[in-house]
Amino acid sequence: MTCSGCSRSVSEAIQRVVGVDQVQVELENALAIVWWSPERRADDPAVLDAVSRAGFTGSLCADDPAESVPARWSPLSGWVFNVVAGSIASLILMVCEWGFSLGMVRSYHWAAFLIAAPIQVLCGARFYLGAWKQLQVGRSNMDTLVALGSTSAFGFSAWGVLSGWQGHLFFMESASIITFVSLGHWIESHVSARAAVSLRALLNLVPPTAILRNADAADSEVPVSSLQVGDLVVVKPGNRVPIDARVEEGASAVDESMLTGESFPVEKASGASLFAGTMNIQGSLVARVAAVGEATSLAQIISVVRRAQNSRADIQKLGDRISAVFVPIVVMIALASFFGWWMAPESARMLGGWMEVFLWTPHHPVDPLAAAIYHAVAVLIIACPCAMGLATPVAIMAGANIAAERGILIRDGTALEKSGRITSVMFDKTGTLTQGRVTVGAVLDLSDPDSIPAPWQTLAASLAVPSAHPLSQAIAGLTPDRVEALDWEEVRGSGIAATVGVTESNPRGMAVGMGSIPWLIERFEVTPPTSAFADDWMARGATVVGLAGGGRLLGLIALRDQLKPGSDAVVAQLRERGLQVHLLTGDNPQTARAIASAVGIDPAHVHAEVKPEQKAAMVRHLQATGQKVAFVGDGINDAPALEQADLGIAVSRASDVAREAADIILLKSDIHAIPEAIALAQATLRTIKQNLFWAFFYNTAAIPLAALGFLSPIVSAAAMGFSDLIVIGNALRLRRWKGAVPPAVRGQGRGGLTTDGTDGHGFK
DSSP string, 588-643: -HHHHHHHHHHHT--GGGEE-S--GGGHHHHHHHHHHTT--EEEEE-SSS-HHHHH
CA nearest 183: which of 73, 75, 72, 86? Answer: 86
CA torsion sign for 728, 729, 735, 741 is: negative
Q: How many CA atoms lie within 13 A of 182 on its CB side?
A: 28
Nearest to 21 by CA among 5, 49, 40: 40
- Start-to-end Cα distance in the chain: 35
What SS3 string covers 478-535? CCCCCCCCEEEEEECCCEEEEEECCCCCCCCCEEEEEECHHHHHHHHCCCCCCCCHHH
CA distances from 174 to 377, 386, 398, 558 (A): 9, 20, 35, 82
Radius of gyration of the chain (CA): 34
- Main-chain phi, psi angles of 304, to 5 degrees: -65, -45
The candidate with the shortest Cα–Cα distance to 93, out of 82, 78, 109, 74, is: 109
428 among known catalytic residues: yes
Catalytic residue (choose from 244, 428, 587, 663): 428
Cα gap 394→197, rounded to integer Å? 12
How many CB atoms within 10 Å of residue 358? 6
* Cβ atoms within 10 Å, residue 576: 14
* H-run or E-run covering 417: helix 413-419
Q: Which residues are catalytic?
A: 428
